[in-house]
Structure formats: C-alpha cells, structure tokens
Structure 1
C-alpha cells in the first residue's frame, strides 16, 4: 500500500511538473531527543542538507512527555526515514527519528 501511495504521488508530481507548476511533498514524523532550541537547530540543519529538501521544522511535543514532531517539505517523493537518519550523521546518536512518512503532495 505504501508503495502504491508513493507511486500515485509521484505521478501527480509528474503531471503537475508537465503543467509548469512546482510540486512540493510534505513529510511528517517524530524525532525524540530534542530538548531545546539548539537541539532543534542541529536536526533542522542536518536534514536541510538532504537532496530536494526545502524546509525542515521541529515542532514541540503536544503534551509533556510527548515526542517532538518533524515536518519536511521537499521536491522529492522518495525521502525515507533511513535517508533522514543518515543525514543526521553523528547526531543520530543523540536524536532518534522515530517515524517519517510522506503525507501529501501540494
């Protein structure tokens, strides 16, 4: 099912690009270990270096003891959790990307 959704979103991107409209993909997930603004900056800077990434936001946990949220906008429909962990490099020892999913194409 996951592959079908990715394929459909990719087709939407191709059709939209043909029409001259830029396509942006939105990914959402969770990243544990982010305790302060410096932590947030580390994660945002590392993930922003991934190919096709336009913006990275680390949003505070919604409740005490919760996990901060992660939002990435990109021009690529193929970014994975594995890519994000790799982009963190040494920071992957400190910050745990628990999930990252493609949620929609704009």
Structure 2
C-alpha cells in the first residue's frame, strides 16, 4: 500500500510539472552599444521583436556604467547574434549587438 501511494504521488507530481500547455522558452542575454536614449531603446527592442518566435525583449542600463544589457525571451533555441544584427537592418550602423548567448531554457 505504501508503494502504491508513493507511485501515485510521483505520477501526480510529474503530471503537474510537465504539462503540454506550457510553452518552452529560451532566454538570451547580451550587450548592445550605441543606445543613448529611450528612442534608441525602443528602436532596438522593436527590431528584436521581429525575430521569429520572440516573446519579449528588454533592454536595461548597466548601473556600473557598462553597456546596456539585452534580454530576449523566445521559443527558439537557435537565435544567434548574427540574427539579431540582421534584424536591425540599416540601424546596425548605429547599434552594435556586442554579444548574445543562450543562458537558459525552460
């Protein structure tokens, strides 16, 4: 009886933690140079949101005076820095995506 209860509890935990309704998301982080104001931030964020499967984009200023941080949440595990630069189009002359790497997937 004890083993049956343990098995049922395990199955219940598995079914609640791995539902098919939860989308798989990947978080990318990087740095972008050339952002001077909110207009620049909005322009870069809008370009990144045009990438396939991108769910959200956030750019934050570095409190220590470094380059602004870029965070992209996407349903795509193959997003590259080159993809992000290409999404900027002509604005890639003004804004430089210095890095972009996958930091976690869930």
Task: State if a TM-score over 0.5 links the two structures.
Answer: yes
Larger Rg: 2
2:30 is aligned to: 29
> TM-score, structure 2 length as denominator?
0.79
- Give me the whole-angstrom Cα distance separating, in 2, the residues matched to 1:46 and 1:72: 12
Structure 1 alignment gaps of length 5 or more: 1-15
> TM-score, structure 1 length as denominator?
0.79
- Give me the whole-angstrom Cα distance separating, in 2, the residues matched to 1:54 and 1:32: 22
State the Cα RMSD in Å: 1.7
1:41 is aligned to: 42
Q: Is residue 58 of structure 2 the alignment partner of residue 51 of structure 1?
A: no
1:1-106 alignment runs, 5 A limit: 19-64=20-65, 66-106=66-106
> What do residues 51-104 of structure 1 show as CA deviations (whole Å, max 9, x unaligned)?
01010111112222x100000000000000000000000110000000000000
Structure 2 alignment gaps of length 5 or more: 1-16
